[in-house]
Amino acid sequence: MTNSLRVAVLGGGSFGTAIANIIAANGHHTYLWMRDEDRAEKCQFERENPEYLPGYKLNDNLEITSDLEASVADADVVTLSVPSQSFREVARRVAPHIPENAIVLSTTKGIEGESFLLMSQILEQELKKVRIGVLSGPNFAKEIIQNQFTGSVIASEHNSVIQCIQKVFASKTFRIYANTDRYGVELGGALKNIYAIVTGMAAALGCGSNTQAMLLTRSLAEMTRLATALGANGMTFLGLAGVGDLILTCTSNLSRNYRVGYAIGKGESLAQVLDNIGQVAEGVNTVKIVKDKADEMGIYMPLVTGLHEVLFESKDILEVVTGLMTGAMASDVDMQGGVQ
């Protein structure tokens, strides 16, 4: 690879745009693919993504296009930043056009429903002869593009992937740390969305800082319990892609999932809330998927169960919350052993 690489970022949402802008600013020939032709042309002409990141000028090295095949032609790195529901479809469409031995990266935080596959596992199924990695962490796009200090994690079993992404994607304010536990890093990014809904609900109900601290740490315990049962490294959840992302998503109004929980806590219906937000809140789908997997495996996840009752079983929110707060007091830290 030469110093200046060809990079394609597929998905013109807020995070895809912010990442593509950093890569372009680093001097790489960068394409940002958007599905909608009119929107792509408008963003290319105006040098701005007004739908997701209004008011931020995009780097001149960034080319915005709706031509999927052209965007990945001769690419050294291809990044998929599309919602989980369309991830496999985009991966399948782009598969014939990605060069052999290219690096293919997922930044999507979600789980495929029936299969319980993570996004990088979908890439393994749909793509051949590429090197796969995952980028995840406490990363709000609006703050990234404002050049606020941000930490993220690149996870891959290939050292060449880690080294390349750290060099190409990092900036003075966007710092990228390494991890070889791709599955754990990806699980952390998907699972934390559930708990952002929980903490948003708690905030709407007037719960204070003590309750928030309890919810965050019990959420971390649940995430780690499921992840280790699935074969991930529990220590991964003590890093940026675990507790770091959990804290960010569960404590900020910039989080779509937190806003979903807050609105439901204020009495709005799930349908109303999702319509008002107008963007994908991955946590809503993830609740169903994780509840089914936890039941199947016999994993104790009371916060997931309680949230499922509120969102999909029409249970009274105060009754469910009271039940969660007064439930069994088990071990504090599962990794020390003891009961769940």
**Lookup result for tokens 């609006």:** 142
The helix/strand/coil state of 327 is coil
Please state, in angstroms and as integers, the Cα–Cα distance from residue 176 to each residue in 14, 85, 150, following that order.
19, 27, 9
Measured CA to CA, the distance from residue 51 to residue 17 in angstroms comes to: 11
Please state, in angstroms and as integers, the Cα–Cα distance from residue 148 to each residue in 30, 142, 153, 181, 322, following that order.
22, 9, 16, 27, 38
Measured CA to CA, the distance from residue 108 to residue 141 in angstroms comes to: 13
Measured CA to CA, the distance from residue 197 to residue 312 in angstroms comes to: 13
Rg (CA), the chain: 20
Catalytic residue, from 192, 266, 288, 291: name it. Answer: 192
Strand-pairing partners, residue 178, are 154
- Helices (H) and strands (E) counted in the chain, each on its own, are 15, 8
For residue 192, indicate whether it is catalytic: yes
Exposure of 72 in the CB half-sphere (CA atoms within 13 A): 26
| DSSP string covering 23-58 | HHHTT-EEEEE-S-HHHHHHHHHHTSBTTTBTT-PP
Measured CA to CA, the distance from residue 74 to residue 90 in angstroms comes to: 18
**Active-site annotation, residues:** 192
